[in-house]
Amino acid sequence: MMYKAFFNGVAGAALLALAGAASADGDLVLEKAWLRAVPPVSPTMAGYFTLRNDGDRAVELKGAKTDIAGMAMLHDTETTDDGQARMVHLSGITLEPGDQATFAPGGKHLMLMKVAEIPEAGEQVEICLTFSDHDDLCADFPVLRDAP
Amino acid sequence: MGADCTAGEGKLRTPTVAKRRTAPLGGARPAGVSSGAAVMIPEPPMTFPRALAGRLGPLVLLLALAGCAEPREELPVNTRLGGDFTLTDHNGGAFRLADQRGRVVLMFFGYTHCPDICPATLARVSQVYRNLRDAGDADRVQPLFITFDPARDTPEHLREYVPWFKANVIGLTGGEAEIRAVAEQYGVVFLKSGEGEPEYDFTHSDYVYLLDQQGRVRKLYPSDFNIDEVTDDVQSLL
Ligand SMILES: [Cu+2]
Ligand SMILES: [Cu+2]
């Protein structure tokens, strides 16, 4: 299924900036979406969101895509007991009905690599989450300096 | 003083600081995962830093000494960590820590290609700095960012990177051996993942170091530290 389910919500830009983008595709609800603003010379950015499965069947989140990045992946930052942080690639996250995945600083994040031009704080970037068995879910991620 | 010492700052901390991640970052961590937590299927990590395991013994001991002081009690001096060093600052000049005598230093190791923890930590350190600046203490506080990725984090690159944080941060780089030596002085462990690949990154410790006006280590913080706690601690050393 190649068609994209665009759903940028009814909230105005101001509200989006405050609350993070909210997007829904009937069964999937994407909330608290934002990208961390980084200096313009950075080659990478991290994005965060929560994704809830309100449907009645399991879905598997596989990755993401966006025009601004050459590559987008699901990552986790693991911190060991010794205080070592490292990033690992997640190949997919299965959400059973009622499950929620939380991507937040210091943990799971959307990793955007090969970002040609780093967007500034205040801008919005469209990012589509991709699934193995579901249409893409697209939303505008506001670029913020700090967690909303 | 409202310093929260429970999040990984236990008095005689056990080697584990994993619980610190429960502290909300900026108070904005989305409220808990709803019932029936998401089923995560992590792939094996890109690399397993097995080599680290052997080196952590001493570090763990050192961290045990970097405990949390009681409110208003003097922060203990950590005699096991620290020391003077010379690196290259983001303007290409020699930077010697000893030249910071008279300033309280907040020091953090990281690399600019890291999108999650490093910029978040630098942003938090910068907020501490701005709080102190608003209190009139800017001249007596110096934030430092030491890269362990000198191949990519050249002085030129750091010069474009650190000013963005608007906190007078000095970016420091140097030769690989020099940086490794400084990391060892401070018990910082880092390991390159994906060696040889264009998109390598690092497994690394992410503590923030508080150094007093004599350059002595007084406290270590997890990267998601409480901004008010650090601000208070810095002020107690001024
Ligand atoms: Cu990542
Ligand atoms: Cu990092």
Test the A interface: residue of B34, B109, B116 with most A CBs within 10 Å: B116
- Please state which of the ranges B22-31, B129-138, B174-183, B213-222 shows the lowest mean pLDDT: B22-31
Confidence of residue B22 (pLDDT cuts 50, 70, 90): very low
The CATH number corresponding to B86-236 among 3.40.30.10, 3.60.15.10, 3.30.420.40, 3.40.50.970 equals 3.40.30.10
Q: Would you state the pLDDT for residue A10?
A: 33
| CA B183 to ligand 2 center in whole angstroms | 15
Alpha-carbon distance B233 to nearest alpha carbon in chain A (angstroms): 21
Cα–Cα dist B77/B96, whole Å: 21
Cβ-nearest to B38 among A36, A83, A101: A101
Instruction: Indicate if ipTM > 0.90.
Output: no
Query: Does the pLDDT value for residue B4 go beyond 60?
Result: no
Q: Would you state the pLDDT for residue B195?
A: 66
Which residues 40-69 on chain A approach chain B with CB closer than 8 angstroms? 40-46, 50, 52
Spatial CB neighbours of B220, under 8 Å, sequence gap ≥ 6: B63, B66, B78, B81, B207, B208, B209, B210
CB-based contact B113:B147 (threshold 8 Å): no
Segment B25-53 mean pLDDT: 36
CB-based contact B225:A105 (threshold 8 Å): no
Cα–Cα dist A82/A55, whole Å: 39
Q: Which two tokens stand for residue A22?
A: 């909210």
Cα–Cα dist B17/B5, whole Å: 12
- Closest A-chain CA to B161: A39
Segment B31-44 mean pLDDT: 34
| CA A75 to ligand 1 center in whole angstroms | 5
CB contact under 8 A, A86 and B157: no
Quote the crossing angle between the two packed helices B117-134 and B227-236, to the nearest 10°.
50
How far the first Cα of chain B sits from its last, in Å, is: 16
Q: Would you state the pLDDT for residue B169?
A: 97
Q: Would you state the pLDDT for residue B39?
A: 33
Segment B213-235 mean pLDDT: 95
Phi and psi angles of residue B164, each rounded to the nearest 5 degrees, phi first? -55, -30
CB-based contact A135:A121 (threshold 8 Å): no
Which residues 73-112 on chain A approach chain B with CB closer than 8 angstroms? 75-96, 98-102, 104-107, 109, 111-112
CB contact under 8 A, B161 and A39: yes
Confidence of residue B139 (pLDDT cuts 50, 70, 90): very high
Confidence of residue B107 (pLDDT cuts 50, 70, 90): very high
| CA A129 to ligand 2 center in whole angstroms | 24
Cα–Cα dist B46/A28, whole Å: 29
Q: Would you state the pLDDT for residue A23?
A: 67
C-alpha neighbours within 13 Å on the C-beta side of residue A131: 20
Segment B9-19 mean pLDDT: 33
Residues of B whose CB is below 8 A from A145:
123
* 3-state class (DSSP) for residue A26: coil
Confidence of residue B28 (pLDDT cuts 50, 70, 90): very low
The predicted-structure confidence for B115-135, as pLDDT tens digits, reads as follows 888 899 999 999 999 999 999
Alpha-helical segments (H) within B113-174: 117-134, 155-161
CB contact under 8 A, A84 and B21: no
C-alpha dist (Å) from residue A122 to A19, A20, A143, B83, B146: 13, 11, 5, 41, 29
The predicted-structure confidence for B49-105, as pLDDT tens digits, reads as follows 444 444 444 454 444 444 454 456 799 999 899 999 999 999 999 999 999 999 999
Segment B172-182 mean pLDDT: 96
CB contact under 8 A, B60 and A79: no
Q: Would you state the pLDDT for residue A24?
A: 65
Q: Would you state the pLDDT for residue B199?
A: 75
Distance, CA of B92 to chain centre: 22
Rounded to the nearest integer, the mean pLDDT of chain B is: 77
Closest C-alpha among B57, B81, B60 to residue B17: B60
Query: Could you give the domains of chain A?
Result: 2-144 (2.60.40.1890)
Q: Would you state the pLDDT for residue A49?
A: 97
Percent of chain B residues topping a pLDDT of 70: 68
Q: Which two tokens stand for residue B204?
A: 């690394």
Test the B interface: residue of A18, A88, A90, A125 with most B CBs within 10 Å: A88
CB-based contact A87:A111 (threshold 8 Å): yes
Cα–Cα dist B142/B145, whole Å: 10
Percent of chain B residues topping a pLDDT of 90: 57
Closest C-alpha among A2, A1, A5 to residue A126: A5
Confidence of residue B238 (pLDDT cuts 50, 70, 90): very high
B1 vs A41 pLDDT, higher one: A41
Confidence of residue B212 (pLDDT cuts 50, 70, 90): very high
Alpha-carbon distance A80 to nearest alpha carbon in chain B (angstroms): 6
Bridge partners, residue A124, by sequence: A142
Q: What is the mean pLDDT of each run of 10 residues along chain A (148 residues)?
A: 37 41 76 96 94 95 95 88 82 95 94 93 97 94 93
Q: Domain-by-domain residue ranges, chain B?
A: 86-236
